[in-house]
């Protein structure tokens, strides 16, 4: 039985509400996205993932040794390396025409059925002059890490429409993501493209026009439509993170071991993460991407959330669970901020939400703290540094 419903609120737009009581730890929903894609820079740095579901294609050992730069005799063997491993290398496959890699034949079949036949580059897969590869490079030039979305979500949506046998149903599904506040659509586009917003948008659209065969789907070859799709993925895109090494570290940390062995593994994990950060020189260590979730995207923010999203299957399947008891009729809310930001002042939280999500938070916590002194994140961080000293 479905335990939630989507309602329309005057001040928030669509929102997710519980229609049953949930206990702490209960699963609210598991959802496969309408579309997902690995971030462009993440893929360029060879974070190997299934093109369809973003599941890692390397074992924890392979992942660690490659990213940390260990080769040959220097490679490190991880204890309990297969514990909690979700990889099945025998099932991995690739497109016969373009060599795009998938974790299973099932994912390849779904990708082909939904969009990949239209997007398959065949022998031009590694050709830097192919229009789709040019578009991706232009996007990377405009949108440096840390990444928040990718132009490939728009490309996939259009390919899905091109291949769809029920175009009306898909169009309606896409329309469900459209934001009601046009000014905010424009603001999120500006946020994603930076100070040279209009120049970057024009450059991106010019390349976009040349990257796809618009025969039969001419309505998408339109700047206004492009802007709307751009805002759609910016406002509704849910970040995804998967990692075979992180899965291993979490599983091994939960083993019942003798104290000496447990401490040794804890030290090894800490050392491995330090080597990964030093070896990559990057701010991310996971396979990262973005997706559109028809239901999950309706969960609004609260600084005292009652639910939390995760990706426990190490793919793009979103899991939403209750982190405290939720009563029937209560709005289901998640936090758009990480734990560190949630602990900061009302002023800092609202500033972050206003700048990155374009709304002023009026949750229970923010309302209760409305008379508190305004303190910026920088001041709080300075206080943290003084405490550490």
- The size of the chain, in residues, is 389
Closest listed residue to residue 83, CA positions, set 316, 253, 300, 308? 253
Phi, psi of 345 (to 5 degrees): -65, 160
For the chain, how big is the Rg over CA atoms in Å?
Answer: 22
Residues 9 and 72 reside in one and the same domain:
no
What's the CATH number where 316 sits? 2.170.270.10
99 and 195 assigned to the same domain:
yes
Bridge partners (DSSP) of residue 322 are: 307
Answer whether residue 282 is part of any domain.
no
Give the number of domains in the chain: 3
Q: Collect all residues with Cβ–Cβ distance below 8 Å to 111 and sequence separation of at least 6.
A: 51, 52, 100, 102
| Together in a domain, 11 and 108 | no
Q: Which of 174, 207, 239 is the last residue of a domain?
A: 239
- pLDDT band, residue 202 (cuts 50/70/90): confident
Mean pLDDT calculated for residue range 337-342: 90
Regarding whether 134 and 106 lie in a shared domain, the answer is yes
Give domain status of residue 267, yes or no: no
Query: Is residue 8 classed exposed, middle or buried when 0-12, 13-18 and 19+ CB atoms within 10 A define those classes?
Result: exposed
**The predicted structure's pLDDT at residue 52:** 98
pLDDT single digits (tens) 117-128: 999 999 999 999
Residue 69 has pLDDT above 60, yes or no: yes
pLDDT of 290-313, one tens digit each?
Answer: 999 999 999 999 999 999 999 999
Element (H, E) at 109: helix 105-111
Q: Are residues 86 and 200 in the same domain?
A: yes
Q: Are residues 191 and 80 in the same domain?
A: yes
**100 lies in the same domain as 23:** no
Q: How far is CA 91 from CA 7, 57, 64, 245, 317, in A?
A: 41, 10, 22, 20, 19
Q: pTM of the prediction?
A: 0.88
Residues 98, 171 within the same domain:
yes
Range of the domain at 184: 50-239
Residues 14, 112 within the same domain: no
Q: Name the average pLDDT for the chain.
A: 88
Q: 202 is written with which tokens?
A: 């024009």
For residue range 147-165, what is the model confidence (pLDDT) as tens digits? 888 999 999 999 999 999 9
> Domain check: are 93 and 229 in the same one?
yes
362 and 328 within one domain: no
In-domain check, residue 265: no
Closest of 330, 112, 329, 151 to residue 229, by C-alpha: 151
Residue 75 lies in a domain: yes
Regarding whether 233 and 96 lie in a shared domain, the answer is: yes
Answer whether residue 228 is part of any domain. Answer: yes
């Amino acid at each position: 039985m479905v335990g939630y419903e989507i309602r329309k609120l005057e001040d928030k737009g669509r929102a997710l509400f519980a229609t049953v009581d949930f206990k702490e730890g209960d699963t609210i929903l598991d959802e496969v996205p309408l579309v997902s894609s690995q971030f462009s820079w993440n893929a360029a740095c060879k974070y190997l993932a299934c093109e369809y579901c973003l599941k890692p294609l390397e074992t924890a050992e392979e992942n660690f040794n490659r990213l940390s730069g260990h080769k040959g005799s220097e490679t490190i063997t991880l204890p309990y390396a297969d514990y909690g491993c979700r990889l099945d290398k025998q099932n991995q496959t690739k497109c016969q025409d373009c060599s795009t890699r998938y974790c299973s034949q099932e994912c390849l079949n779904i990708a082909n059925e939904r969009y990949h036949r239209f997007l398959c580059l065949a022998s031009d897969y590694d050709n830097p002059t192919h229009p789709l590869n040019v578009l991706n490079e232009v996007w990377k030039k405009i949108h440096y890490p840390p990444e928040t979305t990718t132009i490939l979500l728009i490309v996939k949506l259009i390919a899905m429409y091109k291949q769809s046998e029920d175009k009306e149903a898909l169009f309606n599904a896409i329309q469900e993501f459209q934001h009601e506040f046009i000014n905010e659509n424009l603001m999120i586009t500006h946020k994603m493209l930076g100070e040279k917003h209009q120049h970057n948008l024009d450059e991106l659209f010019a390349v976009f026009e040349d990257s796809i065969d618009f025969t039969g789907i001419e309505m998408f070859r339109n700047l206004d439509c492009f802007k709307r799709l751009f805002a759609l993925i910016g406002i509704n895109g849910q970040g995804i993170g998967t990692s075979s090494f992180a899965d291993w570290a979490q599983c091994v940390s939960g083993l019942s071991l003798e104290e000496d062995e447990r401490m040794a593994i804890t030290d090894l994990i800490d050392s491995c993460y330090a080597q990964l950060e030093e070896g990559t020189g990057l701010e991310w260590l996971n396979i990262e991407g973005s997706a559109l979730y028809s239901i999950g995207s309706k969960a609004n923010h609260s600084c005292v959330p009652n639910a939390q999203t995760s990706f426990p299957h190490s793919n793009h399947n979103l899991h939403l669970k209750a982190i405290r008891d939720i009563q029937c009729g209560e709005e289901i809310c998640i936090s758009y901020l990480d734990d560190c930001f949630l602990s900061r002042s009302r002023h800092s939280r609202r500033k972050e939400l206003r700048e990155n999500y374009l709304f002023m938070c009026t949750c229970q916590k923010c309302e209760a703290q409305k008379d508190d002194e305004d303190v910026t994140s920088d001041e709080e961080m300075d206080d943290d540094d003084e405490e550490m000293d």
